[in-house]
Structures are given as structure tokens and as C-alpha cells.
């Protein structure tokens, strides 16, 4: 990692007319300096001034981890001990040239720190960091796009093995443990595992339970991992032995809706319209009120990040953005279904990073 991201962030601070940016442990910190800091009661804080001075305030016991991350090559480490007040350390860094008029503070900084910083810097106005860092993170560089493609191929490989795991008599938890091993064989970390069998599939963020798979169950499998810092996220639908009644027709509608939304993606396309492309077909089939979430979310170093593909988002997408297209239909007490691929906006259209078959696979 070079200084380009810190330079761009410092420029964003200047362009916004602010004096500094304060970033605690978060994806923003990983993005800026590659350090996956531990969020806890001891303060770790990147202090980036408008003129590009970057310091990382770190607790003494975390300093070795900060150095090992390589962050010390990008920023000056300012180490504090357990008998010092880290807020006073930050105050000192920020007031060398007088009290700052306005600073941005990261969206994920614990309020216990933000409130103390506000008290220590009375008269300084505090702004959210999202408007500064969001536009930087939302456009993926060629290297980031390659990482997302590799993560996509990795989760494709996991899904390819899922049919062998689904048999009557196994629990969702047992299937989930096997999937966890498969994810780790292809990724560095497991991000999440959803095995929604039968009625559990009707709850979009159901994780896993001790429910035993039954013949005739539909199973929603939505899984993701982290590979070289970038996330995968992919959903496919399976059935145990046979499809439940009424399922095949509905799944055909869903597949068409997902395809329509993917086809609606291109530079300049509006997220609200991409969402509508999927929603319209599901609504026409009579299930509009059973598609109970937005069509997609951005993805990168976080599973959910900007841009959100939702009816209220009218900011056009641009080449280099990456997000999911994942319409779903959920019938309470019966089953659910969702088809999810990650797509990249290219210079002239769209590219999927997931290629596994989208039809329902009957296993067991």
C-alpha cells in the first residue's frame, strides 16, 4: 500500500474546508493504512491533518501489531501508555497550530471517544467522515476489482460443493460447519453463513439453527468470506430431494427479476431504476409485498457498503463500483428464496463476478 489513499483523503479534508480527519478502528482505517485495529476501550486513532500529516495514536500494547501491519511506514506512531490520557495526546496533535475549526470523525468511532474529543475541543465543529471517504472507497481500483473477482471465484467454488452437503436428517448447523471449512479452504476468513431451510428461509438474515433438513425442504444458502481483504457474498437456492409445491414457478420469476436487474446495470444507471427492474417483475407476479428488502448493497472491504441499490437512491452508478443484485421472495411459514451475484460496473456495462448456475439445485 502506498500513500495515495492518504493523499486523496487529505485532499478530501481540504476540499471540504476541514482541518483534520479522525479515524478509529474500522474498514476506513484498513482502507487508509492497511491496519486492522482492535476496537476496544483503549483508543486507537488515525489523525490526518488537512496538510497530509498522518499520525496513528495507539495504546502501547497494540503498537507491535500496528508496526507488524506495515502502518508505521505510512504514518507516525504516537504511542500512549495505560497511565496516559489518549484524548490529551490527540488534543496535543490537533492544536499545535491552534485549535482546529472543524474536523471529520469516522462513522464507527465509539461515542465514548467522540464525546470526550468534543469536550476537549470545545468550539471545534465535528462532521461525519462518510462524505469524505465514501467517494474514495466506492470506486474500486483495477487491483480491487481483481480481488473481488478472485473472491467471487472462491465463493463460486464453495457453492459448487453445497449439493453434496444437503441430506435429510442433517441440521442446518452441521451443514453450516461444513460450509465454514469450505469457505476457509478458499478464503482467509468466514464472513457469514446463512442456511435457511424450509420456513427458516423466509427470514432473510436467518443464520443457522438446529433445524433438521426434511425431504421436500427448500434451502436458501447465502455465504461469504474475506479473501486478501475483499469480501465475497453469494446466494443460491437448493432443495432436499424434491421441490416444495409452488416453488419452481416462483423461482423462475425470481431468476428473471435478478437477470433484469443485472441487465439494468451500466455506468449512469440509477440504483432506484435497477431496483425497480427486479421489483416490477416480482410485483407483476403478485409477490411485490414478499420482496421485503432492497435489491443490493455495495461490497469491497466490507460486506455491506456504498452504494445501496434501493428505491430511494438516485445517485447514478459509475464504472468501478461493485455491488450485489439479490432480489428475494419470502413466504412466511413456508420457504424463502434469493438469488445473489456480485456485479462490477464496467466502462460500457456490467460484469458478474459469480458464475455458478442460478437454477435451483435439487440435492440429497
* Among the residue ranges 45-53, 135-143, 174-182, 215-223, the one whose residues contact Zn ion (CB under 5 A): 215-223
Instruction: Tell me how many helices (H) and strands (E) the chain has.
Output: 10, 18
Please select the residue that binds Zn ion; options are 233, 259, 302, 306, rule is CB under 5 A.
233
| CB 225, min distance to Zn ion, A | 11
Instruction: Write out the three cell numbers for 278.
Output: 427486479
Contacts of 48 (CB under 8 A, 6+ apart): 6, 9, 10, 13, 20, 21, 22, 23, 32, 54
**33 versus 221: smaller Cβ distance to Zn ion:** 221
| CB 274, min distance to Zn ion, A | 14
End-to-end CA distance of the chain: 46
**324: contact with Zn ion by CB under 5 A:** yes
| CB 317, min distance to Zn ion, A | 16
Distances (CA, A) of 161 to 220, 260, 308: 15, 27, 30
Count residues binding Zn ion (CB under 5 A): 5
| CB 323, min distance to Zn ion, A | 9
Bridge partners for 128 per DSSP: 105
| CB 282, min distance to Zn ion, A | 17
Q: Pseudo-torsion of CA 87, 91, 92, 97, nearest 10°?
A: 170
**105 versus 155: smaller Cβ distance to Zn ion:** 155
| CB 117, min distance to Zn ion, A | 32
Burial of 355 (0-12, 13-18, 19+ CB in 10 A): exposed
| Interface positions, 332-361, toward Zn ion (CB under 5 A) | 340
* Among the residue ranges 19-27, 143-151, 228-236, 310-318, the one whose residues contact Zn ion (CB under 5 A): 228-236
Per-residue mark of binding to Zn ion, 234-263 (x: CB under 5 A):
-x----------------------------
Residue 288: CB atoms within 10 Å: 14
Please select the residue that binds Zn ion; options are 144, 172, 222, 302, rule is CB under 5 A.
222
**62 versus 222: smaller Cβ distance to Zn ion:** 222
What gap in Å lies between CA 139 and CA 108, rounded to an integer?
A: 21
**233 versus 302: smaller Cβ distance to Zn ion:** 233
Helix axes 142-161, 172-186, angle to 10 degrees: 140
| CB 204, min distance to Zn ion, A | 6
Identify which of 284, 320, 339, 290 has the alpha carbon closest to the alpha carbon of residue 135: 320
What gap in Å lies between CA 199 and CA 337, rounded to an integer?
A: 11
Per-residue mark of binding to Zn ion, 38-77 (x: CB under 5 A):
----------------------------------------
**302 versus 340: smaller Cβ distance to Zn ion:** 340
Instruction: Write out the three cell numbers for 280.
Output: 416490477
| CB 290, min distance to Zn ion, A | 16
**109 versus 344: smaller Cβ distance to Zn ion:** 344
**235 versus 354: smaller Cβ distance to Zn ion:** 235
Are the CB atoms for 271 and 308 separated by under 8 Å?
yes
| CB 318, min distance to Zn ion, A | 20
What gap in Å lies between CA 342 and CA 148, rounded to an integer?
A: 9
**49 versus 324: smaller Cβ distance to Zn ion:** 324
Identify which of 354, 329, 364 has the alpha carbon closest to the alpha carbon of residue 201: 329
**116 versus 206: smaller Cβ distance to Zn ion:** 206
Which residues are near Zn ion by CB under 5 A? 222, 233, 235, 324, 340
Amino acid at each position: 500500500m502506498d500513500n495515495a489513499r492518504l493523499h486523496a483523503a487529505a485532499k478530501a479534508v481540504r476540499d471540504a474546508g476541514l482541518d483534520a480527519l479522525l479515524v478509529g478502528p474500522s474498514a476506513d482505517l484498513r482502507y487508509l493504512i492497511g491496519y486492522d485495529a482492535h476496537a476496544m476501550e483503549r483508543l486507537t486513532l488515525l489523525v490526518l491533518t488537512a496538510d497530509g500529516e498522518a499520525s496513528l495514536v495507539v495504546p502501547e500494547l497494540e503498537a507491535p501489531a500496528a508496526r507488524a501491519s506495515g502502518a508505521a511506514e505510512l504514518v507516525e506512531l504516537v504511542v500512549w501508555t495505560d497511565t496516559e490520557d489518549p484524548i490529551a495526546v490527540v488534543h496535543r496533535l490537533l492544536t499545535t497550530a491552534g485549535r482546529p475549526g472543524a474536523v471529520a470523525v469516522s462513522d464507527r468511532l465509539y461515542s465514548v471517544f467522540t464525546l470526550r474529543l468534543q469536550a476537549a475541543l470545545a468550539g471545534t465543529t465535528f462532521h461525519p467522515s462518510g462524505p469524505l471517504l465514501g467517494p474514495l472507497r466506492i470506486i474500486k481500483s483495477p487491483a480491487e476489482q481483481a480481488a473481488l473477482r478472485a473472491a467471487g471465484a472462491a465463493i463460486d467454488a464453495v457453492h459448487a460443493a453445497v449439493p453434496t452437503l444437503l441430506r435429510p436428517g442433517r441440521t442446518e448447523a452441521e451443514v453450516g460447519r461444513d460450509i465454514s471449512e469450505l469457505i476457509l479452504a478458499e478464503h482467509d476468513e468466514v464472513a457469514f453463513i446463512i442456511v435457511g431451510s424450509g420456513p427458516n428461509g423466509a427470514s432473510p438474515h436467518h443464520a443457522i439453527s438446529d433445524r433438521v433438513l426434511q425431504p421436500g425442504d427448500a434451502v436458501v444458502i447465502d455465504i461469504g468470506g474475506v479473501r486478501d481483504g475483499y469480501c465475497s457474498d453469494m446466494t443460491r437456492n437448493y432443495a432436499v430431494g424434491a421441490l416444495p409445491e409452488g416453488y419452481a414457478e416462483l423461482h423462475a420469476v425470481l431468476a428473471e427479476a435478478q437477470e433484469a436487474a443485472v441487465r439494468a446495470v451500466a455506468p449512469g444507471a440509477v440504483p432506484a431504476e435497477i431496483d425497480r427492474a427486479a421489483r416490477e417483475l416480482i410485483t407483476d407476479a403478485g409477490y411485490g409485498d414478499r420482496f421485503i428488502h432492497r435489491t443490493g448493497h455495495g461490497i469491497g472491504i466490507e460486506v455491506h457498503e456504498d452504494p445501496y441499490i434501493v428505491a430511494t437512491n438516485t445517485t447514478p452508478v459509475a464504472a468501478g463500483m461493485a455491488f450485489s443484485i439479490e432480489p428475494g421472495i419470502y413466504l412466511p411459514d413456508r420457504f424463502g428464496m434469493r438469488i445473489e451475484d456480485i456485479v462490477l460496473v464496467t466502462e460500457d456495462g456490467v460484469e458478474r463476478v459469480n458464475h455458478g448456475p442460478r437454477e435451483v439445485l435439487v440435492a440429497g
